[in-house]
């Protein structure tokens, strides 16, 4: 699986949009970009994933560049409860089971 690079930490004011970047320059054509987050001492929570088109759900939007070498997770109106470590993971999707390789992620701190 391709490796990802994320900034170690970011700050965001409550109510503002949080834009979390991820670089995955070695991504291959059949690899998806997944985002999870982990609030302190809890299990990781799935947020969103995509292949090449932008995706949106009730939690966030995922913007993937045309060359697929980077992506941005957007939390449109960050709240204090969005403070967490956010993980960007690139993984091949196939019909069998799969494993996720977690890096260090980005610690997002949302402040009042």
Partner 1 sequence: ETGVTQTPRHLVMGMTNKKSLKCEQHLGHNAMYWYKQSAKKPLELMFVYNFKEQTENNSVPSRFSPECPNSSHLFLHLHTLQPEDSALYLCASQLTGGGFRTDTQYFGPGTRLTVL
- Which of 1, 32, 59, 61 touches partner 1 by CB under 8 A? 32
52 near partner 1, rule: CB under 8 A: no
5 near partner 1, rule: CB under 8 A: no
d(CA 54, CA 63): 5
CB of 93 to partner 1, least distance (A): 5
- Which of 23, 49, 69, 107 touches partner 1 by CB under 8 A? 49
103 near partner 1, rule: CB under 8 A: yes
Give whichever of 51 and 80 is closer to partner 1, judged by the CB atom: 51
- Which of 1, 10, 44, 109 touches partner 1 by CB under 8 A? 44
């Amino acid at each position: 699986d391709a490796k990802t690079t994320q900034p170690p930490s970011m700050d965001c004011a409550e109510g503002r949009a949080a834009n979390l970047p991820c670089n995955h320059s070695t991504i291959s054509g059949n690899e998806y970009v997944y985002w999870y987050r982990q609030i302190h001492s809890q299990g990781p929570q799935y947020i969103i994933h995509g292949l090449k088109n932008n995706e949106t759900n009730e939690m966030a939007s995922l913007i993937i560049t045309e060359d697929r070498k980077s992506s941005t997770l957007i939390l449109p109106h960050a709240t204090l409860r969005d403070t967490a470590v956010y993980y960007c993971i690139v993984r091949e999707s196939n019909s069998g089971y799969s494993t996720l390789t977690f890096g260090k992620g980005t610690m997002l701190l949302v402040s009042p």
